[in-house]
């Protein structure tokens, strides 16, 4: 079966404050995903790439964008699939700068700044990330676990099948002493894991 790659732009969530005139107005977020993904050594993993792009004239410093990535996984009938619980690291004290702090949600495969590969552990350990004017910052991640329906406290590997995924990213920045935020969400994307 052939796989197509699709790229979808996240848009402001209905009802969310429109910050189109704010510091984040020229920031965009997109997600790229292969519609058919084969099992890798070690099992099935849903892989996707998230790109933050700054088309504005000023650099934008984002507060922990990796912690602000959320997703809803849906089964083939459109019902939400339970995913492992996690505590947002922005709410933990002290703040956890390790890759392990994100592993209940996803594993990070790579991070690129304007096409150049960055050190994943170093990037995950930063509370803020600056997306310079005219550049992009992209994160490739893999989702591997869901919660077992028969044993709700047990995480299991994602079984083969057709899934929907909806990605939500919150952009947070502080400019001129004020916090700006945008809540962005993708359309439902469909992927076959086999």
What's the burial of 159, exposed, middle or buried (CB within 10 Å: 0-12/13-18/19+)? Answer: exposed
Give the pLDDT score at 111.
96
Q: Which of 97, 117, 109 is nearest to 42 (CA)?
A: 109
If one counts every other C-beta atom within 10 angstroms of the C-beta of residue 43, the result is 13
Counting as low any pLDDT under 70, the low residues of the chain are: 1-3, 15-21, 41-43, 93, 99
Residue where the block lists tokens 């990070």:
108
Report pTM.
Answer: 0.89
What tokens does 192 get? 């076959």
Give the pLDDT score at 1.
44
């Amino acid at each position: 079966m052939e796989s197509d790659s699709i790229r979808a732009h996240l848009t402001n969530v209905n009802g969310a404050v429109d910050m189109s005139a704010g510091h984040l107005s020229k920031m965009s977020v997109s997600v790229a995903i292969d519609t058919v993904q084969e099992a890798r050594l070690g099992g099935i993993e849903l892989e996707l790439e998230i790109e933050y792009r700054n088309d504005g004239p000023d650099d934008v410093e984002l507060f922990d964008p990796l912690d602000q990535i959320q997703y809803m996984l849906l089964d083939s009938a459109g019902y939400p699939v339970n995913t492992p619980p996690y505590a947002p690291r922005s709410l933990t004290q002290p703040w956890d700068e390790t890759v392990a702090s994100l592993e209940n949600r996803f594993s990070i495969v790579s991070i690129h700044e304007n096409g150049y590969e960055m050190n994943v552990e170093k990037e995950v350990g930063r509370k803020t990330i600056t997306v310079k004017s005219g550049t992009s910052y992209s994160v490739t991640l893999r989702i591997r676990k869901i919660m077992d329906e028969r044993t709700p406290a047990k995480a299991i590997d994602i079984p083969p099948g057709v899934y929907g995924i909806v990605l939500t990213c919150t952009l947070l920045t502080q400019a001129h002493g004020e916090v700006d935020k945008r809540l962005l969400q993708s359309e439902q994307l469909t992927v076959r894991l086999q």
